[in-house]
Amino acid sequence: MFQQRAVRASADDSGGLAEVHVAGGTATLVSLDVPLGPGGPRLEDAHGLVRLVPVDGSSFLILPAADLPEGERLLLFVPLERGASLTLALISVRDEVDTQVELLLQDSDLLAGGLGDVARLLNTSRTEPVELVLTGKRLLKSGDTCVRLKSVLRLDHHVFVSFLFWAERPSADARKQVLFRAVMEDGSVVALPVLRVSTVSSVSPARQYTFVSVLPEGARHLEVAVRGEGVAEDMLSIPLVRVRPTP
């Protein structure tokens, strides 16, 4: 089971170590409501099973090559800008993995930093602000679920994917049926967490969605897949190349 959680953590570990559930081949995004300190997070990993990939000044990805051995906990030290440090425990739990963890030192909304506003702009725009190259196939179909890709916009490490979604059954949930993965420079494939989903009503029976995800450093292609219940998925791969040069 993939899950997104908000975890309260304190520098003095007064409530015990906060645990993050990780799994091999699946990325876990860790976000803080304060800036990271110098040097970034550090992991006690004698086996070299886990990579830490910075995303921005207050978040990073955990990329395990394999599940951790049963009963083993890896200590993750997260420095804070103000000089304190958090200590987390990484563990593998059968059939349970955190794709997104919000580390809260105080009440906050970590996803409010403009991501939702951009998603809403993409949904209401009369044009299609495509930044990544989209050629050929744009229609994905799996079972009774159909997705037409409209646009893909990349802003630094964030990627905004807009599409029209059809499903014969009204109860079908696009959040569970649309998947995002990154193909890395070494050929490995990493499942990407979804930070936010914005939706607006479109021409019936279609509905328009914009998904916001985050790309790890070294990602070469973005895979977008749709998976209907009990049937094989349909997938397309998008090169992560900018069409317009960055000023």
Low-confidence ranges of the chain (pLDDT < 50): 106-113, 130, 171, 243-247
| Domains 2-107 and 115-239 alike in fold | yes
- Return the domain boundaries, the chain: 2-107, 115-239
∠ CA 34-183-47, rounded to 5°? 65
Q: For residue 115, what are its two tokens?
A: 């991501």
CATH 2.60.40 fits 2-107, yes or no: yes
In the prediction, which pLDDT does 84 show? 76
Entry pTM: 0.53
Report pLDDT for 1: 80
Architecture of domain 115-239: Sandwich (2.60)
Mean predicted lDDT score pLDDT of the chain: 79
Q: State the pLDDT at residue 206.
A: 74
Q: What pLDDT does 130 receive?
A: 46
